[in-house]
Chain A
Amino acid sequence: MQKFDKIKEINFYPDRNPNPVLTIGDGGELFYSNQAAKEVLKTTGSKGNQIIFPDDFKKAALDSLEKGKVQKRTIQVQKDYFNFSFCPREDGQKVDVYGTDITEEIKHQHHFSVISAFSMALLEAETEVDVAQTIAAEAIAKLSFVDCAVYLVDQKDGLLKQRAAYGPKNPKKLRNSIVDPISLTFGEGIVGLAATRKKTVIVNDVSKETRYVMDDAQRMSEISVPLIADNELIGVIDSEHPEKDYFSKEDAKILESIASIASSRIQRYRAMEETKRTEKKFRSFVENAFGGFYILRGDKFEYANERFSEMTGYSSGDLTSPNFSIYKIIQEADDKAHHAIEARGRGDYSPKSYNLMVKTKSGETSFLAINTCVLQDERGDFTLGIALDISESIQARNQLEEAVASLEKKTDELKEFAHLASHNLRAPVTNLSGLLEHYNHEDPTDAINPVIVEKFSKSVEQLNLTLEEMHQVLRVRAKEDFDIRTVNLEEVLKGIEIQLSEKIRSSAFQIQTHFEIDHVKYERSHLENLFLNLISNAIKYRREDVQPYIRISSKRFTDHVKIVFHDNGIGIDLDKHGKNIFGMYKRFHTNPDGRGLGLYLVKRQLSALGSNISVESKLGEGTKFTVSLISK
């Protein structure tokens, strides 16, 4: 109610109304104008007593009289805008005009439309330079600037570089090139000042400004607005004008709004570029990595680099095909590996490392050392894996282990040899000294003396034999250069028969042969030793109650020659002595000639050339030695 009263009061006292109120006649003559109206109309000028009304103002007044209806118009008077209501009086002679100053609203509207036009244009800008050029072009088009330049901070040298410039210097057609681009350091020129202060700088008369840096032509006024993101300077928008006092606070406001939109746009673009660069770096690192790299979701590969393809033999297309499971390449994995291979929401996100035995596409086995970590994205858990091929080092380790085992075995054998050799040397020597003590020097005719001498020579013989055996064992150990040539088995046998002729004759021993193959390529001395040992053993351990014999046969197989020595002697209890039969100084019979070294030597010589010997025997029936000769 109070408010209504106030309006009534204002209308009653129009002079006090801050808005223009006037009454004009149908001939355009002024009957009344309040103070505000006088201020407005002063600007339109007068001719004698006649006020000069703007044309559209006069036309609207006559319109209202003619139609007898209120007319509303927005009319520009100089720099200001008014909404005028033209109210005809009933007499049809006069019109009361009420005006409202809407200059501010119009300005805001303009401001808004310029900014939204900028925003729309900026949406299409894809690079920093695009943004700069859009700002400059739109400033000229929408803000009626004579020129506009945009400087951006070069991330390499920190200098402000002109990235876009429009105006007389760069006609619109040359959008992508700048004639003589300017580089400025912070603080240099008006642009530099705005950059340093991070605030808009307006210079109304550059002739009074010592900081002015002339571009293409001298201008009178200049505005510089900084582009700022996260309180960091990105660049500067700069415009100059040939008139003094050209740039208003309104211009500054609009440019600041544009600067803020453009800054965030550039910032976002830079962030995207950074992400892209990082991604590119990461991808290139992964693709060229020495290690295999893969991404696994469940048991399916989502990605595998070239190196991982090489390790598995499967192309990355094979690996990432939807039917391919990681289990296809796993040959062996322990529990630790199985647990780590897949991430299935176990809530265990700690990094894992394990070894995997992998079967490649071509069926080969290789060993991979794998490090994984489980990550999450919008589709859930996935595993990032890095694999190194450790097949070679595993192989090397295995070889080393084999070498160590073989060395240990040899060391054990040598120890045993040294132990037994010393024993076998000590025994006859202690016997010799013992015998000497009992020799009767005072009475050479003592009946014991010939017995002592006989035993003495036996001990010496034993000593000789032991030394000879040791020499033989050491010769095999020393891995002499083998003399492999074609050997006739018949000839070897003949030589042995001559050597053993006395024993063969006295025991009426029979040697029967059935050689399917009688020529083999082999080390002759090894074959001679083999025949000598097995035949002399057969004679030594013959049964007295039967006609003793040995049957020797040979047969060719693809990669070896089999020679079988089968006798009808007393046999060996293999249940008792099986594991020792080819051992050093193992004797299984009381026959005093048995030295316990023959079979050991035979076995060693054969295995030195990759050959093998095995035995079957039954007590009281005979013994069968089967030799597999690796002969080329």
Chain B
Amino acid sequence: MVIDDDSTFLFIFRKQIEKFEGGKIVNESGNGSEALSFLKNLAPTADHMPDLIALDLNMPIMDGWDFLDEYGKLCADGVIKAPVCILSSTINQADFDRANTYEIVKSFFSKPITSDQLAAMEKISKVY
């Protein structure tokens, strides 16, 4: 599952996943709020239950941080436990540090995303 408001990035990411052949995108959400409503309405056994959430930070309506707070509550309820990887254009150390404070965030990738990073994401999705 990928959460990002940048349609061009989504286009490229989609193409990268197709080439990588290591997985598929079960959902694309334009912001945190959309993503949350998708996740809340998911049945625990649904076949498009995400194994990993790729999250952008700078988004309208509900940004990545607010999403993380809400998603944390969702995980606590035990409905879902997919790990989160942050995909962002930021190069600000403060953002890295802040992301580190969330236990559910397993990795932080700066855009552009490389095939090595996709491999790492696949690994993460399997470990957790």
Write out the residue numbers on chain A whose beta carbons fall within 8 Å of the beta carbon of B58.
420, 423, 585
Interface hit among B5-13, B46-54, B73-81: B5-13
A588 to B7, CA, bound (A): 17
Query: Which residue in chain A gives the minimum CB-CB distance to B31?
Result: A590
Known: A426-B91, A427-B6, A458-B8. A433 touches B60 (CB 8 A): no
Residue in contact with B9 in the complex, picked from A431, A448, A451, CB distance below 8 Å: A431
Could you mark each residue 63-97 of chain B with 1 if its beta carbon is under 8 Å from any beta carbon of chain A, else 0? 00000000000000000000000001111101000
Interface of A, secondary structure class, is: helix
Q: Which of A417-447 contact B (CB under 8 A)?
A: 419-420, 422-424, 426-428, 430-431, 433-435, 437-438
Given contacts A438-B15, A588-B61, whether A427 and B91 have CB atoms under 8 Å apart is no
DSSP class of B's interface residues: helix, strand, loop or mixed?
loop
A592 within 8 A of B: yes
Q: Is A435's CB under 8 angstroms from B90's CB?
A: no
How close is B65's CB to chain A, nearest CB, in angstroms? 13
B40 within 8 A of A: no
Q: How far, in whole Å, are A423 and B61 apart by their CA atoms in the complex?
A: 18
Residues of chain B in range 1-34 having any CB-CB distance to chain A below 8 Å? 5-9, 11-12, 15-16, 30-31
A434 to B6, CA, bound (A): 13
Kindly report which residue of chain B lies nearest to residue A451, judged by CB atoms: B11
- Residues of chain B within 8 A (CB-CB) of A437 are 12
Q: Is the CB of B60 within 8 A of A594?
A: yes
Would you call A459 an interface residue if the criterion is a C-beta within 8 Å of the partner chain's C-beta atoms? yes
A596 to chain B: closest residue by CB = B60
> Given A430-B111, A434-B12, A592 and B92 touching (CB < 8 A)?
no
CB-based nearest B residue for A591: B60
Q: How long is the Cα–Cα vector from A594 to B8 in the complex, in angstroms?
A: 16
User: Does B44 lie at the interface of the complex (its beta carbon under 8 Å from any beta carbon of A)?
Assistant: no
Chain B positions within 8 Å of A435 at CB level: 8, 11-12
A244 within 8 A of B: no
Chain A: minimal CB distance from B31 (Å): 6
Per the bound structure, the CA–CA distance linking A164 and B54 in Å amounts to 116
Residues of B within 8 A of A590 (CB): 5, 30-31, 60-61
Q: Tell me whether A426 and B60 are in contact (CB under 8 A).
A: no
Query: Per a CB cutoff under 8 Å, which of B30, B31, B89 touches A427?
Result: B89
* Bound-state Cα–Cα, A178 to B23, Å: 129
Q: Which chain A residues border B31 with CB–CB below 8 Å? A: 590
The CA-CA distance from A387 to B93 in the complex, in Å, is 52
Complex Cα spacing A422 to B95, Å? 13
Per-position binary interface string of chain B over residues 99-126, scored 1 when its CB falls under 8 Å from any chain A CB and 0 otherwise:
0000000000001110000000000000
B6 touches A431 (CB 8 A): yes
CA distance A112 to B60 in the complex (A): 117
B112 contacts across to A, CB distance below 8 A: 430-431, 433-434
A430-B89 CB under 8 A given contacts A455-B11, A592-B7 = yes
CB distance from A460 to the nearest CB of B (A): 11
Question: Which B residue's beta carbon lies closest to that of A456?
Answer: B8
Distance (whole angstroms) from the CB of A580 to the closest CB of chain B: 10
Known: A448-B15, A590-B61. 16 other contacts (CB 8 A): A419-B92, A420-B58, A423-B58, A423-B90, A426-B91, A426-B111, A430-B112, A431-B6, A434-B8, A434-B16, A438-B12, A438-B15, A455-B8, A455-B11, A587-B61, A588-B60
Interchain residue pairs with CB less than 8 A apart (22): A419-B90, A419-B92, A422-B92, A423-B58, A424-B89, A427-B6, A427-B89, A427-B111, A431-B6, A431-B8, A431-B9, A431-B12, A434-B16, A435-B11, A455-B8, A455-B11, A587-B60, A588-B61, A590-B31, A590-B60, A594-B60, A596-B60
Name the 3 nearest CB pairs between A and B, nearest first. Answer: A587-B60, A434-B12, A426-B89
